[in-house]
Amino acid sequence: MSTTPVMPKASKRRRKTRTKTVSHRPPIIASSLAVNELDLTPGKEHLVCPECFTWVPITGMLGTPKLVPHHRERAETGAPLRCTAGSNRHVVIDVDAVAWGDKVAEADATAVGRRSGRVNRKPRTVVPTPVHRVASVPGPSARLLAAQTRARDAVNEHRTVCGVCKTGRTRCPVGRELEIRMGHTDASVRLAHEQRESALRAAAAPSISRTKQWRRVAGDVTRVDDSRRALVPAGRAVAESCGVPLAPRHVKAHERRQAELGKRYAQQKAATTAA
């Protein structure tokens, strides 16, 4: 048999489960599974095995669907455990793929709707008004008080009409929004009252002159100053300074250094003159 220099190589085939074995257990009904336990995406049909709770592909979608043989524990290891009760089990697809997609979208929208998009800001710390601005600090304005009255009347009128809010155990969306608005106006009025009262208390507090304040602590300051100065050696106190040296510490070394510098300067001057 003659061979060509380059033999044709067969392409790698996609691995598929090819077995005619069928489990004796009753088939799995797709409609009995939850929406999040079934995936009917075309070409990616999966479901959660009721025995081992593992996502398992469904084979034979064009004929008799069934679960492929799969492992339940230690998958992709040297000693896996086969799920004998769920492998090769028939699956009855009695759910339309379009209806299943609509249920998935509805469940996703419901989960997103449960997440509140409201951002509740923490109230800022109230800064007391300076004393010199006490006279200009107003209380709650007439407009703010009127808004507070209107908000309370709106809540009371809604409770008399709405059957959900009338019980007092829960609130409808409209009643909850009205109560939030009423809470905001009440907080604004309360904040105006608190600012006014804090400013009045600051103005009514007795002011102590700076001379009296210093007189209270003058004795302690003098005592501490005297005791600390007594511990500092003479000549290094805060109010004193060290004397400036007028003579070199080593006279001979100083004279030798000056002589060497004189010779060096003379040589530099001579070189500059010759140039």
The H-assigned helical ranges of the chain are: 97-113, 142-161, 163-166, 173-204, 210-231, 251-274
Helix, strand, or coil (residue 155): helix
**Burial tier of 67 (Cβ tally within 10 Å: 0-12, 13-18, 19+):** buried
Range of the domain at 192: 131-204
pLDDT of residue 128: 65
185 and 153 within one domain: yes
Examine residue 67 and state whether it is found in any structural domain, yes or no: yes
Rounded Cα distance between 177 and 18, Å, is 61
**Per-residue pLDDT in tens (0 to 9) along the chain, 275 residues:** 455 556 667 666 656 556 778 888 889 998 888 888 888 888 888 899 988 888 888 888 888 888 888 887 766 677 778 888 888 888 998 888 888 888 888 777 665 656 666 777 787 777 765 656 555 566 788 888 888 888 889 888 888 888 888 877 788 888 888 888 888 888 888 888 888 777 777 666 666 677 887 888 888 888 887 777 666 555 555 555 566 677 888 888 888 888 898 888 888 888 888 76
Rounded Cα distance between 214 and 225, Å, is 15
Examine residue 198 and state whether it is found in any structural domain, yes or no: yes
99 and 33 within one domain: yes
Examine residue 138 and state whether it is found in any structural domain, yes or no: yes
DSSP secondary structure string for all residues of 76-129: TSSS-EE-TTTTT-BEE--S-HHHHHHHHHHHHHHHHHTS-----PPPPPPPPP
Task: Say how far residue 148 (Cα) sits from the centre of its chain.
Answer: 35
Examine residue 135 and state whether it is found in any structural domain, yes or no: yes
pLDDT tens sequence across 206-251: 666 778 878 888 888 888 877 776 665 555 555 555 666 778 888 8
Rounded Cα distance between 60 and 90, Å, is 10
95 and 48 within one domain: yes
33 and 105 within one domain: yes
Examine residue 156 and state whether it is found in any structural domain, yes or no: yes
The beta-carbon contacts of 235-244 under 8 Å, at least 24 apart in sequence, are none
138 and 97 within one domain: no
Of 170, 187, 204, which residue sits at a domain end? 204
**Cβ-Cβ contacts under 8 Å for 101 (sequence gap 6 or more):** 40
148 and 95 within one domain: no
163 and 91 within one domain: no
Q: What is the dihedral sign for C-alpha 29, 31, 37, 41? A: positive
Q: What is the dihedral sign for C-alpha 165, 168, 173, 176? A: positive
Of 204, 224, 245, which residue sits at a domain end? 204
Of 175, 204, 233, which residue sits at a domain end? 204
140 and 194 within one domain: yes
What is the Cβ-side half-sphere exposure of residue 66, based on CA atoms within 13 angstroms? 22
pLDDT of residue 199: 73
Examine residue 116 and state whether it is found in any structural domain, yes or no: no
Domain count of the fold of the chain:
2
Rounded Cα distance between 108 and 209, Å, is 69
Helix, strand, or coil (residue 165): helix
Examine residue 59 and state whether it is found in any structural domain, yes or no: yes
DSSP 130: P
Examine residue 218 and state whether it is found in any structural domain, yes or no: no
